[in-house]
Structure 1
Amino acid sequence: MPPLKSDPDDKEFMTTLAKGLSVLGAFGRQRPTMTLTEAAEIADLSRATARRVLRTLTLLGYVEQDGRSFALAPKILDLGFAYLSTQSWIDRATPMMRELSERLGESCSAATLQGNDIVYVARIPGRRIMSATLSVGSRLPALHTALGRIMFGFLDEAEIWRRLKSQRIEAYTPQTITDLQALYDRICADRAQSFSIADEELERGLRALAVPVLDRSGQAVGAINLSTHATRTTRNEMRQHFLPELKRIAEQVSSMTI
């Protein structure tokens, strides 16, 4: 979780609200529970401030306390579902994604771009499941996923480079692209061809193809993908069989997106 940032010239910025959100954002798959000390350290707050934030969130029902440990409460889902309910393209895409997944026997997912991560907003696991732990709300590094790279391509050049330089590039497999110029070139090439393939770059054996979902101004509001095991489907087969199917869904959804 990045340190809390504010603009001293913005008189309407609510520092207290930002501190509360920074504590909420500190919870995740790697930290399902935290002590007061851990929350203060990760959210870059004083212990006194973190205590007040956690006390408030507990009273509001968004956090639960068990002894010295704090964890998110089920009520936090209300915030996530509120966001999903405003993204009508997800509702339109999901039935088509499910039909495609069942017909091909592969996983089909949809995601949005948040900073340097993708966030899954819909996921239909295939019959031959890989990465079974992924679900709605899961986050992955955008640069090493087909979903992320195709959405990165809709950012302007300066913003792409800003995000590339703002993070430490980690090699997850021998195929992971770690050179910044090579990543930038791949993003541009994917944008030009309107699809992206990530070939065992994040996980050994995982091969995925993604296409963008566009609004009426031509900007990417999300992306959808099909993923398979590298031993089952070649890159050429993905282009021949997966790409037309994904483009069909994306075009139908995009045509109805405001």
Structure 2
Amino acid sequence: MPKLKRAEGEERATDFVESLDRGIRLLQVFGTIGGPATLSDLARAADLPRATARRILFTLEHGGFVTSDGKLFTLTPRVLTLAASYLQSSQVVTVLQPVLDRIALAAQEISSLAVLDGDEVVFIARGSPTRVFSAGLDIGYRLPAFCTSVGRVMLGQFDDGDLTARLAAMRREPMTPHTVTDPKRLLACVRGDREQGYSLVDREAEPHFRSISVPVRRYDDVIVGAINMGAHVDRVSTNEMIERFLPLLKEGAESVKSMLL
């Protein structure tokens, strides 16, 4: 007798591995605690029963991802292999890294690649003229999408209806006195950036920092990331960013479009 095919919703529900979901959640709360933590602290932060958190922690300890002195639990460097797996398997990083290096050398400034993750942007690659990253945004660094140039060019991929709903729903805490938080003004900013093909954000994410970004599109015109350059406001003007940085960013993004699948 042939097997009946499960409905899509039913298949998702039965295939969900709750223990894996809880383990990932427990790993993530280490970042919110900011140091070694007790079993009770971690269970409470992850909203898990103490016995469940204990089993998960011992499993992670067995795998080498967590260490304990008998009372306090700490992540080990092995956790970084999870991030390394993403970076090494990401086609966007592989294709864009030589571009970032090239435009950083041409501009003598650090360049960065970011992707959209929910309401935040995550920086996943960098290029430097010296290959010594003494300043700028570290790989893995997160910022709100609404007040960053990389975020605004990636938010431009959504139609006005979806964009309006996203901006209204996301947290819009001011990062500096210059941060635009009003959803109507933000909608106008993103729409304007979409039309001109780039975004320049001046002191909205950081008090003395401005940056310029362009979207990175794959072969079918879908936005998969954004590349940017930024500098201290006393060192680089907005005009210089548009005249000197923007052509390099545009050329770099266009050069990889046919290579991204």
Q: Distance in 2 between matches of 1:92 and 1:74?
A: 27
Contact between 1:89 and 1:253, CA under 8 Å: does it hold in 2? no
What is the DSSP-based 3-state SS (H/G/I as helix, E as strand, rest coil) of the residue aligned with 1:10?
Answer: helix
Q: Distance in 1 between matches of 2:51 and 2:32?
A: 25
Shift of 1:249: 0.6
Shift of 1:33: 3.6
What residue number does 1:63 align with?
A: 66
Q: How does 1:38-187 map to 2 (within 5 A)?
A: 38-125=41-128, 132=135, 134-187=137-190
What residue number does 2:16 align with?
A: 13
What residue number does 2:5 align with?
A: none
What residue number does 1:237 align with?
A: 240
Contact between 2:156 and 2:191, CA under 8 Å: does it hold in 1? yes
Shift of 1:15: 1.2
Q: Distance in 2 between matches of 1:133 and 1:70?
A: 31
User: How many pairs does the alignment contain?
Assistant: 251
What is the DSSP-based 3-state SS (H/G/I as helix, E as strand, rest coil) of the residue aligned with 1:175?
Answer: coil
Superimposed CA distance per residue, residues 126-171 of structure 1 (whole angstroms, 9 cap, x where no aligned partner) = 67x9993731111111111111111111134444334323333111
Q: Distance in 2 between matches of 1:67 and 1:191?
A: 54
Shift of 1:207: 0.6
- Residue identity over aligned pairs, in percent, reads 38
The structure with the larger Rg is 2
Q: Distance in 2 between matches of 1:53 and 1:158?
A: 42
Name the TM-score, length of structure 2 as normaliser: 0.86
What is the DSSP-based 3-state SS (H/G/I as helix, E as strand, rest coil) of the residue aligned with 1:28?
Answer: helix
- Aligned equivalent of 2:219, options 213, 216, 221: 216
Residue type matched to 1:204 in 2?
P
Shift of 1:88: 2.1
Q: Which moved more, 1:212-221 or 1:82-91?
A: 82-91
Assess, with a 3 A threshold, how the Cα gap between structure 1 residues 162 and 67 changes in structure 2: closer, same or farther. Answer: farther
Show structure 1 runs of 5+ residues with no match. Answer: 1-6
What is the DSSP-based 3-state SS (H/G/I as helix, E as strand, rest coil) of the residue aligned with 2:124?
Answer: strand
Q: RMSD over aligned Cα, in angstroms?
A: 2.4
Shift of 1:116: 1.0
Q: Which moved more, 1:170-179 or 1:21-30?
A: 21-30
Q: Distance in 2 between matches of 1:10 and 1:156?
A: 30
Q: Distance in 1 between matches of 2:101 and 2:80?
A: 23
Superimposed CA distance per residue, residues 167-220 of structure 1 (whole angstroms, 9 cap, x where no aligned partner) = 331111111011111112211221221111110001111010011111122111
Name the TM-score, length of structure 1 as normaliser: 0.87
Assess, with a 3 A threshold, how the Cα gap between structure 1 residues 166 and 63 changes in structure 2: closer, same or farther. Answer: farther
What is the DSSP-based 3-state SS (H/G/I as helix, E as strand, rest coil) of the residue aligned with 1:140?
Answer: strand
Q: Distance in 2 between matches of 1:37 and 1:136?
A: 31
Contact between 1:58 and 1:64, CA under 8 Å: does it hold in 2? yes
